[in-house]
Structure 1
Amino acid sequence: MCNLYSMNRTQDELRGLFAGRRVDDRLGNLGAGEEVYPDQGAPIARVSGADIVLQSARWGMPSPKQYHSKSGIDRGVTNIRNTASPHWRRWLGPEHRCLVPLTAFAEPLGRGRGNVWFRFPQDVTPMFAGIWVESWTSLRKLKDGETTDNLFAFLTTEPNAEVAEIHPKAMPAILTEPDEREIWLHAEWGEAKKLQRPLRDGVLRVGSPS
């Protein structure tokens, strides 16, 4: 399960990924590229009318209530596989879909042995197929009390050949082509759900996160 990725693109580079579209940049001053862990903020891209909105959101969609702790803490769901679940179906329309830019992602080796990082060729622009929800109030940490946040997570699917050697159960659903991004952001679910599929074999390279 992918619970660590890196995003090293600049704000200008992110805006440039949507050439020909009007981009509403709400990221503020995006810091230097860094590794992203669950419950941290990270850039996402979503649609608002004819615009592409770039904004930050917190990694971890709302969990089903049965997975909240006894004290009511909801630590969030980072990876979503079962899109047939009623819990997720309400957020599968275009208004709740987003793209999550990345430059590399990690899969754990297990038993404290660290992570394997998967990178992409320079001519490939990867984005996770994500979903998001706006202004969700929940208890993430007792010390913070209830907070209201924009939240996101991304879909997972069967692993391709490279990932299966490390993590045989799943990998993130990753989009690499402009037409895939358009389908994910705009199409009805019957078409968009076909993108919850493994990345083609031979694209990924094992290496460092940057």
Structure 2
Amino acid sequence: MCNRYALSVPAASLFPRYRATEAANPVAAPAPELFPRKPAYVVRDADGVRILDVMAWGFPMMTKGKSGKDIRKDVTNVRNLTSPFWRSALANPSRRCLVPFTRFSEYGQVRGDDGKLPLHWFDVPSQPITSFAGIWRPTEEGPVFAFLTTEPNAVVAPIHPKAMPVLLHPEDEERWLTAPIAEALELSAPFPSQLMRVE
């Protein structure tokens, strides 16, 4: 699953791209490469206003470790769309968001001569800024987000056969943010492979 992506454009370019205003309590700009539990930009609607916000990546969840003790896990990818863990956020348009990125990564399946799995980067050349379909929720530590995954397309599958993030066409972003759940989840599909490239 995708646990590393990049946004290599300044925040100033996100405002016109998403027709957004800044959140009421802006924080320091996130790093260009994003990892779980780290802050990242998201775009959401609030009372009819499009907002550029910063949230931590990953929904916290307590689970039992091998020792039987409770351990915290930050869930970054939404795969089971019928799970009660995700369903309330998915069903509520105000809890959906767009996650801007310029490229995302997956590790390959075959180790190189150095014994390491190669890291591959994917992007959409025709879109300088692309969006993942995301959801968010408030927590005691501040707002958090995750994004949806789906079956991999022909570009991603040879490298990561289990899943790929749900990428949105710009014309589908409004639909993701506002449509009823059944219509919104129609967007949870592999992005056209002919529009992507891999390095």
Q: If the length of structure 2 is used for normalisation, what is the TM-score?
A: 0.88
Match for residue 122 of structure 2 among 118, 125, 128: 118
- Correspondence for 1:153: 146
The residue identity in structure 2 corresponding to 1:130 is G
- Correspondence for 2:85: 87
Structure 1 window deviating more from structure 2 (86-95 vs 189-198): it is 86-95
**Matches of 2:169 and 2:27, distance apart in 1:** 26
**Matches of 2:180 and 2:74, distance apart in 1:** 26
**Matches of 2:26 and 2:105, distance apart in 1:** 24
Distance 1:28 1:86, change over 3 A: closer
Name stretches of at least 5 consecutive residues in structure 1 with no aligned partner: 138-147
Show CA shifts across 1:31-61 (max 9, x none).
5x52111111100111101111111111111
- Correspondence for 2:14: 14
The answer on 1:193 being equivalent to 2:197 is: no
Counterpart mapping for 1:174-193 below 5 A: 174-177=167-170, 179-193=171-185
Question: What is the deviation of 1:119?
Answer: 1.8
Question: What is the deviation of 1:109?
Answer: 1.4
- Correspondence for 2:102: 103
- Correspondence for 1:4: 4
The residue identity in structure 2 corresponding to 1:10 is P
Percent of aligned positions with the same letter in both sequences? 38
Aligned residues: 190
Please tell me whether the aligned partners of residues 124 and 176 of structure 1 are also in contact (alpha carbons under 8 angstroms).
Answer: no
- Correspondence for 2:54: 56
**Matches of 1:88 and 1:197, distance apart in 2:** 17
Show CA shifts across 1:175-203 (max 9, x none).
122x3110111111010000111001211
Q: What's the secondary structure of 1:45's corresponding residue?
A: strand
Q: What's the secondary structure of 2:152's corresponding residue?
A: coil
Question: What is the deviation of 1:75?
Answer: 2.2
The residue identity in structure 1 corresponding to 2:176 is W
Distance 1:123 1:99, change over 3 A: closer
**Matches of 1:166 and 1:203, distance apart in 2:** 17
Q: What's the secondary structure of 2:155's corresponding residue?
A: helix
- Correspondence for 1:145: none
- Correspondence for 2:45: 47
Distance 1:68 1:12, change over 3 A: farther
Question: What is the deviation of 1:116?
Answer: 0.8
Question: What is the deviation of 1:168?
Answer: 1.3
Name stretches of at least 5 consecutive residues in structure 2 with no aligned partner: none
